[in-house]
Amino acid sequence: MKGTVSFIPKARTIEFFEYDLPEVAEGAILAEVSRTNVCGSEVHMWRGEFGKRGVMPGHEMVGRVYKLGKGVTHDTAGQPLKEGDRIAPVYYETCGTCVNCRAGNAAACVVLGIRARRVGPHDPPHFHTPFATHYYIHPGQHVYKVPDNVPDHAASAANCALSEVFFGLDQASLSYEETLVVQGAGGLGLHAMAVAKARGARVIAIDGVDLRLQRARAFGADEIVDMREYTDTRARVGRVRELTAGLGADVVLEVAGVPQAFLEAINLVRNGGRVVEIGNISLGLTVEVPPALITFKSPQIIGVATYNPHYLHKALNFLSAHMETYPYHEMVDAEFPLEQAGEAMEKSDRKEITRASLLP
Ligand SMILES: [Zn+2]
Ligand SMILES: [Zn+2]
């Protein structure tokens, strides 16, 4: 039997390749992709921001066990696993032994292996990323069964958006009664709002698109700062200060993904507060930051690119507990067949849609 994988060789181009399904090694799993999302990273890939070598797209997925390698009987949390079970894998591997893994910060693993960055579709076992019909899960890669009450549309974002902001808010120790500003009410931002509300924080959402602001309210935002009303940093900082007794936010989460938002985050946070930087992932994009601002405000700046892999299990459990509380079904607002992945990324880039899913 054959399957299909995809590759982005240059900006705004996607290619598809067919391969025989690979042999499944001892300890590995071959999954059939049920649903995979166009995340911000894929939009950056589509724009050609990931370099000249090209890149294999896809990382947010939910699927079913197609074939278990020898010796695989349970998921990483110890739940029994069989062929056909719904699963979500962590899309990278951590080493467990480097200086950061040993210190409990596997998200900053110094040899963190995102295979998609190192391999191409021609390298076996070919099915390296989930913009594909199948996905190969290597021995030691975390994989978790999806709770029965969590539908695919919600589970598909768990291994990126939700796990990452969950981990980021933990890194910032966001706690009860603190104020969180979320810059950007896209997928990451909405998940963060739900997690922040669950721990008793107050949420201020910043965005400038009606639908995204409506969703922010639905996902628990207590206050909205509409960028069409507060049109520059000065106005937004002023508004957030008004809403926080003149202080600024305890924690600011940057998930807008533009360099200017990082500078604004440092302006929005209170003296001694915490800034969690997640949204900016293109090394070529810059902003001028006056270092004295960091000296005088003394915020902690916390960069989060991934998460400790066991957070995927926490994320799936969070969804299971909050499926009825938040309109997760609204988070994915467009569905495409795999062959139309290019169109899905193009429309996402033009912000005509918020979160697209591919259904291979
Ligand atoms: Zn490591
Ligand atoms: Zn993602």
Q: Is 217 helix (H, G, I), strand (E, B) or coil?
A: helix
- Is residue 257 left, alpha or beta, with left meaning phi > 0 and alpha meaning psi from -120 to 50? left
- Ligand that comes closest to the CA of residue 165: 2
Look at residue 112 and tell me whether its pLDDT is greater than 80: no
Distance (Å) from CA 299 to ligand 2 centroid: 26
**CATH classification number, 2-156+332-359, choose in 3.90.180.10, 3.90.550.10, 1.20.1050.10, 3.40.50.1260:** 3.90.180.10
CA of 97 to the centre of ligand 1 (A): 5
pLDDT at residue 137, as a whole number: 96
Q: Which residues contact 280 (CB under 8 A, 6 or more apart)?
A: 254, 257, 258, 259, 261, 262
Paired tokens of 309: 């892999």
For the full predicted model, state whether its pTM sits above 0.95.
no
CA distance 6 to 28: 21
User: pLDDT band at 115, cuts 50/70/90?
Assistant: low
Q: Which of 259, 250, 298, 296 is nearest to 277 (CA)?
A: 259
What tens digit of pLDDT does each residue of 193-241 get? 999 999 999 999 999 999 999 999 999 999 999 999 999 999 999 999 9
Q: Please give the distance, rounded to the nearest whole angstrom, from the Cα atom of residue 306 to the centre of ligand 1.
A: 13
Q: What ligand has the least distance to the C-alpha of 157?
A: 2
Per-domain residue ranges of the chain: 2-156+332-359, 162-303
What pLDDT band is residue 323 in, cutting at 50, 70 and 90? very high
Question: How high is the pLDDT of residue 114?
Answer: 65
- Read off the pLDDT band of 331 (50, 70, 90): confident
- For the stretch 69-85, pLDDT in tens is 999 999 999 999 999 99
CATH superfamily of 162-303: NAD(P)-binding Rossmann-like Domain (3.40.50.720)
